[in-house]
């Protein structure tokens, strides 16, 4: 995967997840950034930082930008996407609750595990969905059709704010069922018809 210039994420994009977080789906996509330094490949460990006592998994469908996207209408969005990929938007939930913005909670090294991108041409876009497992037990499972804002609408919205460059990663939100992980766990995020990213969890040295 090409190193992205940025990782743009969407919050509260599934109604049941918004409810479990104590709110409603926003009236327009809620976006935030994770630093590229948070990227982690399949198999390497998610490190629980000493600053947090409550780290959560968040399984998501990710898309990789293939061609520069600026002010792209939703109807043309897929033409600017090169691949689909499983993403785990790991979050220090306790820090997210205490901070007024989410950079710290979302931005630790190892907090963005990403699988192998699969070209859009090889993906059943109508069958997209995401499943998260912890130690083999299903914790999250939802079709992409449950999104409040679908992928083309997300690309239209983001590209109207910032230019998306080739290689940039967009994480499209997590469904309900979020929860904590501890050292010794293994988290697996599967995007249906695309593949998986699986990572053990360890404590910081």
- Cα dihedral: 20, 59, 40, 8 (round 10): -70
Return d(Cα 169, Cα 81) in angstroms, integer.
Answer: 10
Cβ–Cβ under 8 Å, residues 155 and 77: yes
Residue 15's pLDDT is what? 83
81 - beta bridge partners?
65
3-state helix vs strand vs coil in the chain, percent to 5:
20, 40, 40
Beta strand extents in the chain (DSSP E only): 7-11, 30-34, 39-41, 46-48, 55-57, 59-65, 81-88, 91-92, 112-114, 118-119, 129-134, 137-143, 169-171, 179-181, 186-191, 195-203
Indicate whether 1 pLDDT > 70. no
Return d(Cα 202, Cα 27) in angstroms, integer.
Answer: 37
Q: What is the pLDDT of residues 60-113, one digit of tens each?
A: 999 999 999 999 999 999 999 999 999 999 999 999 999 989 999 999 999 999
Q: What is the pLDDT of residues 13-65, one digit of tens each?
A: 998 887 887 778 889 999 999 999 999 999 999 999 999 999 999 999 999 99
81-117 burial by CB neighbour count: b if 16+ within 10 A, else e? bbbbbbbbbbbbbbbbeeeeebeebbbbebbbbbbeb
Q: What is the pLDDT of residues 177-188, one digit of tens each?
A: 999 999 999 999
pTM of the model: 0.96
Domain boundaries, the chain: 7-203
User: Regarding the domain delimited by 7-203, which CATH topology (the fold level of the hierarchy) does it fall under?
Assistant: Fumarylacetoacetate hydrolase; domain 2 (3.90.850)
């Amino acid at each position: 995967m090409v190193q992205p210039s940025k990782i743009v994420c969407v919050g509260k994009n599934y109604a049941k997840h918004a409810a479990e977080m104590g709110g409603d789906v926003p009236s327009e996509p809620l976006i935030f950034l994770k630093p590229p330094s948070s990227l982690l490949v399949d198999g390497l460990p998610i490190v629980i930082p000493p600053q947090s006592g409550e780290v959560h998994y968040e399984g998501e469908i990710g898309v990789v930008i293939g061609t520069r996207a600026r002010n792209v209408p939703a109807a043309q969005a897929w033409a600017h996407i090169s691949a689909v990929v499983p993403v785990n938007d790991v979050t220090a939930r306790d820090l997210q609750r205490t901070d007024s913005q989410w950079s710290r909670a979302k931005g630790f090294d190892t907090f963005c595990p990403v699988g192998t991108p699969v070209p859009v041409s090889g993906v059943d876009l109508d069958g997209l969905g995401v499943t998260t497992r912890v130690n083999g037990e299903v914790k999250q499972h939802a079709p992409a059709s449950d999104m409040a804002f679908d992928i083309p609408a997300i690309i239209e919205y983001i590209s109207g704010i910032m230019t998306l460059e080739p290689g940039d990663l967009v994480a499209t939100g997590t469904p309900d069922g979020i929860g904590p992980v501890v050292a010794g766990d293994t988290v697996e995020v599967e995007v249906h018809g695309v593949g998986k990213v699986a990572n053990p969890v360890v404590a910081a040295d």
